[in-house]
Structure 1
């Protein structure tokens, strides 16, 4: 207490000076219109800058969430454009295309946005790691897409991260079809270039041309029908000569892949459960030695 009293006594002149300065400034700006307007303008400018800085900081910290929402919306819009383009193309070739049913798009499904945190394109068995896991609703065997088309299938699910088997993996095997032609085969990657894969087992009587779109067929329990895969680039004969092998120019650029979405569809999940139940039933039937003839 003695030290505080001594400090105030020593610097009392400075305290008095500051008090008088503040009082004079208040009186100056309060009772003079010109000085008051200058103060009001300056205060508003400073306040505006503070609010602007606060808004920029808030936008920065919410940027990741906004990007995820934009990615999800972009994928939906991309698929809607492809749907309209395909319908227009089919209509010019076949006026009865509407009778073949509705063209399903990703807009009908719940999409889980995710970011790629690890990726490779130069190995035989490439893998992609994303920043979403079981905590976010990710399940094994979910289909993964991006704004340009198909990406791959969820292989392993952790709590906060998951591993995806992309098209660029020797174990990837996805049922695809040629849009508007109703011919299908299985998409496989043979290594080498990251923008080329091959559609195998296409029947020899199939009729198509270079540049035709290739989409998911919907015959698997992973992808719905209509997700873009790429375009027909070249046609070869299979090794046994009984079918075609088609080189596909992939629509997805795996080298720059950053944002993806996982397809969460209850009907696909139900279809997968039915298929698995049927397989288990067939195994039990063939392994049961007491089954009646």
Structure 2
């Protein structure tokens, strides 16, 4: 089977040079290997995703000379797929609801930190400090039936005990030069959120389900997602999904060395195009042939 690559942006802003690098790299690798290139729209956040940004993604990619197979998968049209995966994990006792608001979680973290530093995940966010895992099944049901907001979390300790040691194949490199056979350390993320009452999936859950259903064999993405791969390969193992090969590429950064943001107008593809840049100029700026 020929390799399958994908580019999966969120339509919550306009594309910038960092997106262009990842999209072009995936497209070039697909062409060189005789593989397929897919476009996926990760639009599970209705509060931030907008139709105008989605349309702009199509326009910018086409301007760069990128074409993709149809149909485009839009996550908002496949919520049942993520629900099925969540039900599978729930049936195995690996998911539980927590009911603290973001503000309450922040307050709990502040209380814990009065006794010393509270552990944080690789992105710098504090691990979940609450005690919802200890609630009885009856109390959980009562709170959910009352209409209280909740988040569905992966019981990381139980999940790791079920899976044992898991690894992935890294064809690029991590932030510290990690490459080859990498052992996953999902415990560093704590009890990650898999869904919320108002959003029936999360990035972690939807990305592994999508990659499996789309038969993606090569995940080529930025080094900022290297550590999240630990969660993804754990979920793949728990759900019985195939594991793609991973390649984490360098990040395109600004003059201060920070990862580009969708609010960085100086590196936005639309602004560069309006200023007279050509697709060849973009490739040159990115160091691509």
Larger Rg: 1
Q: Identify the structure with bigger relative contact order (alpha carbons < 8 Å, sequence gap 6+).
A: 2
State TM-score, norm by structure 1. 0.23
Which has more strand, going by share of residues? 1
